[in-house]
Amino acid sequence: MESVQAIKQRFGIIGNDHKLNRAIEKAIQVAPTDISVLVTGESGVGKESIPKIIHQLSHRKHGKYIAVNCGAIPEGTIDSELFGHEKGAFTGATQTRSGYFEVADGGTIFLDEVGELPLTTQVRLLRVLENGEFIKVGSSKVQKTNVRIVAATNVNMFEAIEKGKFREDLYYRLSTVEISLPPLRDRQEDIHLLFRKFASDFALKYKMPTVKLTDDAAALLLKFRWNGNIRQLRNVAEQISVLEENRTINAQTLKTYLPETSSNLPAVISSTKSESDFSSEREILYKVLFDMKSDLNDLKKLTMELMKHGNDKNVQKDNESLIQKIYGNESDAEYDDTTYDNNTEDDLEILSIPEPANTALIDPSNNALDKYHFAEEIEEEETLSLQDKELELIKKSLERHQGKRKLAAAELGISERTLYRKIKQYDL
């Protein structure tokens, strides 16, 4: 069995972090078996190296090795890519095609970003893992394959399972052995080492002197969070190698190549933003509806008081706060007779009486009618009697104040605008 150091040299892996070494040790140990492996870690940590190590150290090393980026294949064609299809299976299927599982028979398939697989494809993959069987798209013939599956993901699989985006049974079949690679920020001793290796490679590639970091630049390199991990560090090294004429890089120069979000503190991100926004809007809507219901109840209460006692001073005094609540924002300005016509839209107003709460109060005959059999007749009589009462109140108030609308409106507890409409309505 090859040593960890020999494997790192063979596959070009740079670093001496103990977590990295442990991941390579697990890959070496599991390689001779056919156990399925799940490689986890953030994007850019180098997960693609592990399946290559496993394949080259296994008895399948002479078979095919196929790497598939599951996140890069459209959902509508991924089944065809993995399992193949028959001629005429769908539009554009002009000939029979072999999928990766058929081509890689006897070898290894690396499924990168396996967490992005559609649920229907996950069911097909589970069948391959359980008994090595698959069916081409558009076919009914069961085919056998003998492949080693190594998968990788940067997704939190337990969260994906909870959200119903990934099958729990498939996760446990894939992760018989799980190998986790650490993020670059947890490999402090390896960061400067990796930068020097990349700088050397790019100097050779572009035929120019190797860039070097000053002490303050090296310190800044270690403080940076490196959310993009090794991939981001490699890009920074390439940019500096190509763009900088001065081959000695200080902290001030290095800082211009690093994003401003260089804090090494974890970012706090809310995952329920849309839900909370929706909840807030819903609560506001409920409040508006409840306020409208309350206003309608207030109107009913005031109307019943006017019906029972008439529009005298005692009623106005007892209901002063209620009147102010309903009509406090009404304008008392004078309105010209030509401003409105019969087509003016109706507002909520005190004299437009809503349905009374107790029909017995306005029953003109005071007879005990059966409310279940004569509901329609009662409602019609109520409407008529309320209109008569409204008209009577308006006439009396106008007569008392000699036709002065402003004074009459004040006595009735309504705006002059509302009174004007009622005068037009009843042709007074």
User: What pLDDT score was predicted for residue 339?
Assistant: 40
* Domain-located, residue 223: yes
User: What pLDDT score was predicted for residue 40?
Assistant: 96
**Claim to verify: residue 157 and residue 191 sit in the same structural domain:** no
* Domain-located, residue 271: no
**Claim to verify: residue 40 and residue 174 sit in the same structural domain:** yes
**Claim to verify: residue 225 and residue 341 sit in the same structural domain:** no
**Claim to verify: residue 165 and residue 200 sit in the same structural domain:** no
Listed residues 206, 231, 255: the one ending a domain? 255
Burial 402-414 (b: 16+ CB within 10 A, else e): eeebeebbbbbbb
Q: Which residue has the tokens 């986790």?
A: 180
> Which residue, 120, 117, 12, 9, is CA-closest to 71?
117
Given pLDDT bands bounded at 50, 70 and 90, which one contains residue 423?
A: confident
Alpha-carbon gap, residue 328 to 319, rounded angstroms: 13
**Claim to verify: residue 226 and residue 124 sit in the same structural domain:** no
Residue of 298 and 339 predicted with greater confidence: 298
Q: What is the mean pLDDT of residues 58-62?
A: 95
Residue of 402 and 96 predicted with greater confidence: 96
Q: What is the mean pLDDT of residues 238-248?
A: 94
Listed residues 182, 208, 229: the one ending a domain? 182
CB-CB contact of 106 with 63 (8 Å): yes
Is the pLDDT reported for residue 169 higher than 60? Answer: yes
Q: What is the mean pLDDT of residues 264-285?
A: 54
Given pLDDT bands bounded at 50, 70 and 90, which one contains residue 54?
A: very high
* Domain-located, residue 275: no
- For 333, the domain range is 296-426
Residue of 357 and 138 predicted with greater confidence: 138
* Domain-located, residue 291: no
Q: What is the mean pLDDT of residues 256-279?
A: 58
User: What pLDDT score was predicted for residue 361?
Assistant: 40
* Domain-located, residue 328: yes
User: What pLDDT score was predicted for residue 309?
Assistant: 67
β-bridge mates for residue 151, sequence order: 38, 111
User: What pLDDT score was predicted for residue 18?
Assistant: 94
**Claim to verify: residue 412 and residue 339 sit in the same structural domain:** yes
Q: What is the mean pLDDT of residues 336-341?
A: 41
Given pLDDT bands bounded at 50, 70 and 90, which one contains residue 279?
A: low
Using one digit for the tens of pLDDT, what is the confidence trace for 396-420? Answer: 888 888 888 888 888 888 888 888 7
User: What pLDDT score was predicted for residue 220?
Assistant: 95
**Claim to verify: residue 170 and residue 39 sit in the same structural domain:** yes
Using one digit for the tens of pLDDT, what is the confidence trace for 139-157? Answer: 999 999 999 999 999 999 9
> Helix (H, G, I), strand (E, B), or coil: what is residue 178?
strand
Alpha-carbon gap, residue 379 to 356, rounded angstroms: 9
Percentage, residues of the chain above pLDDT 90 = 57
Sign of CA dihedral 305, 311, 317, 323: positive
User: What pLDDT score was predicted for residue 331?
Assistant: 41
pTM of full prediction above 0.85? no
CB-CB contact of 137 with 86 (8 Å): yes
User: What pLDDT score was predicted for residue 124?
Assistant: 95
Which range is least confidently modeled, 78-87, 91-100, 110-119, 323-332?
323-332
Given pLDDT bands bounded at 50, 70 and 90, which one contains residue 286?
A: low
**Claim to verify: residue 316 and residue 344 sit in the same structural domain:** yes
Using one digit for the tens of pLDDT, what is the confidence trace for 2-39? Answer: 799 999 999 999 999 999 999 999 999 999 999 999 99
Which range is least confidently modeled, 179-183, 254-258, 389-393?
389-393
Is the pLDDT reported for residue 335 higher than 60? Answer: no
User: What pLDDT score was predicted for residue 392?
Assistant: 81
Q: Dihedrals φ, ψ of 395, to 5°?
A: -60, -45
* Domain-located, residue 420: yes
Q: What is the mean pLDDT of residues 158-179?
A: 95
* Domain-located, residue 41: yes
CB-CB contact of 152 with 40 (8 Å): yes
Is the pLDDT reported for residue 184 higher than 50? Answer: yes
**Claim to verify: residue 82 and residue 116 sit in the same structural domain:** yes
Using one digit for the tens of pLDDT, what is the confidence trace for 195-210? Answer: 999 999 999 999 999 9
User: What pLDDT score was predicted for residue 326?
Assistant: 59
60: CATH: 3.40.50.300
Q: What is the mean pLDDT of residues 51-72?
A: 96
- Cα–Cα distances (Å) from 24 to 12, 18, 74, 234, in that order, read 12, 10, 32, 21
β-bridge mates for residue 148, sequence order: 108
**Claim to verify: residue 237 and residue 304 sit in the same structural domain:** no
* Domain-located, residue 281: no
Listed residues 226, 255, 284: the one ending a domain? 255
User: What pLDDT score was predicted for residue 206?
Assistant: 94
**Claim to verify: residue 217 and residue 146 sit in the same structural domain:** no
Single-letter code of the amino acid located at 11: F
Show the beta-strand stretches assigned E in 226-370: 248-249
How many domains, the chain?
Answer: 3
**Claim to verify: residue 129 and residue 227 sit in the same structural domain:** no
